[in-house]
Amino acid sequence: MIIVAPTAFKEALGPVAAARAIATGLKSSLKRKKIELYPLSDGGDGFLECISYYFKGQRLRNVTLQVTDPAGRQIKTSALISGRQAFIESASILGLRLVAPQERDPLKTTSKGLGEAILALLDKGMEEVVVGLGGSATVDGGRDALEVLGVRFLDSKDNPLGLGPAELTDLERIDLSGIDPRVKKQVLILWDVDSPLLGPYGALIYAPQKGAGQKELKALELSLQRYAEVAELAIAQRLDHRRGMGAAGGIAFGFAVLAGCKLMSGADYLLRLSGLRDKLKKEDIVISGEGRLDKQSLSYKVIGALRRLPHSKLILLCGEIGVQIAPRDRRTAAISIQPGPIDRSKAIAATKENLKQTATQIGRLLA
């Protein structure tokens, strides 16, 4: 069997559209092979799209919420609801795409909107709110979101801090007495990368694409270090080094440490929800892919999760390849879908067609 299981190609195609494009190409040259589609997400871009795909045939409501975007503006966002279970994604509330390049400043952007969305859903009677993390424009450790949910961040004079991570260097005490008790029991956080909060591979690894230069990186590092110190004093436990804590600019850390929420890999969550985790057999061929293949992709994220499951071959179709597959890995191959040197904007526009054409050629080899 051939399993088609890509994630999103950012700025080009969501996971469902990518899976269908690959399947179309394969079917044009593979007439008798069984092909099944399992679009996936790591919790970031495409998470709600995947939830909608796997809940097909079941009652799933789309509700609109009014929240604050990363730049402090009021926007409308969507949540998906099935019974008493709700799903939201940080990419739709705090996403980098919501902030114009000239507005990007991670010392000022805020995660407040995520807290507003969670609170609104809890107030609607949801028994579980599943939050997919990834693709955020923020690096505030989730403190602004948590403030909406009742956590108080105080300076040395017991005055509340202003919004944004720049204020965290003045953090002296965290008051957890007013936190909404529903958050710990009813909010599940799905991380997209297993980075720790601090260190060279921590929450700051993606800060440059959020607008941080060297000056901002240094300031953010000091802010997050202070945040971690005071947060861990508040609960008398050190947790900043744990897997996933650096996801979405440290939002995972704030919710796990200060709110006590359960954390889980977003890729693993969808592999279980889709049934693919238990379905894959060692003779199956898996075709996956994403916009840019990098070290994080191979280790964790969707592709990393697929590599750890049974399969005979894993073929990765990528818009850009930023890391080489180890020579000893005889079961994985990464293939660029670009026909040659191409401008980035043109490559993005041609993603669907290039996926089809590349999949057609792969199908000829598998026929």
The predicted pLDDT at position 243 comes to 83
Q: What is the DSSP code string of 232-251?
A: HHHHT---TTSTTTTHHHHH
**pLDDT tens-place string over residues 229-283:** 999 889 877 776 788 999 999 999 999 999 999 999 999 999 999 999 999 999 9
First and final C-alpha spacing in the chain = 12
210 part of a folded domain: yes
CATH code (residue 245): 3.90.1510.10
Is 95 found in the same domain as 77?
A: yes
CATH code (residue 333): 3.40.50.10350
Range of the domain at 323: 2-39+280-366
Q: 268-274: long-range contacts (C-beta < 8 A, 24 or more apart)?
A: 268/305, 269/43, 269/130, 269/190, 270/40, 270/41, 270/47, 270/50, 270/54, 270/302, 271/40, 271/305, 271/306, 271/309, 273/51, 273/54, 274/38, 274/40, 274/50, 274/54
Is 203 found in the same domain as 58?
A: yes
Is 252 found in the same domain as 111?
A: yes
Where among 240, 267, 294 does a domain terminate? Answer: 267
The predicted pLDDT at position 38 comes to 98
117 part of a folded domain: yes
The predicted pLDDT at position 11 comes to 87
**C-alpha distances in angstroms, 354 versus 24, 138, 159, 267?**
12, 32, 56, 25
Is 294 found in the same domain as 209?
A: no
**pLDDT tens-place string over residues 266-276:** 999 999 999 99
Is 245 found in the same domain as 118?
A: yes
**pLDDT tens-place string over residues 10-64:** 889 999 999 999 999 999 998 878 999 999 999 999 999 999 999 987 889 999 9
Q: Is 82 exposed, middle or buried (0-12, 13-18, 19+ CB in 10 A)?
A: middle
pTM above 0.85, yes or no: yes
94's CB contacts (< 8 A; 6+ apart) are 69, 70, 109, 111, 113, 114, 135, 136, 137, 138, 248
272 part of a folded domain: no
The predicted pLDDT at position 270 comes to 97
The predicted pLDDT at position 235 comes to 87
291: amino acid identity, one letter: G
Across the chain, mean pLDDT equals 94
185 part of a folded domain: yes
Is 352 found in the same domain as 335?
A: yes
> How many domains does the chain divide into?
2
Closest CA to 40 of 61, 77, 14: 14
Is 323 found in the same domain as 210?
A: no
The predicted pLDDT at position 278 comes to 94
Is 52 found in the same domain as 33?
A: no
Sequence length of the chain is: 367
pLDDT at 356 over 90: yes
pLDDT at 141 over 80: yes
**pLDDT tens-place string over residues 149-183:** 999 999 999 999 998 999 999 999 999 999 999 99
Is 186 found in the same domain as 140?
A: yes
226 part of a folded domain: yes
Is 117 found in the same domain as 79?
A: yes
Is 187 found in the same domain as 77?
A: yes
The four Cα atoms 135, 136, 142, 144 give a dihedral, to 10 degrees, of -160
Where among 246, 267, 288 does a domain terminate? Answer: 267
274 part of a folded domain: no
198 part of a folded domain: yes
Where among 206, 233, 267 does a domain terminate? Answer: 267
Is 209 found in the same domain as 164?
A: yes
334 part of a folded domain: yes
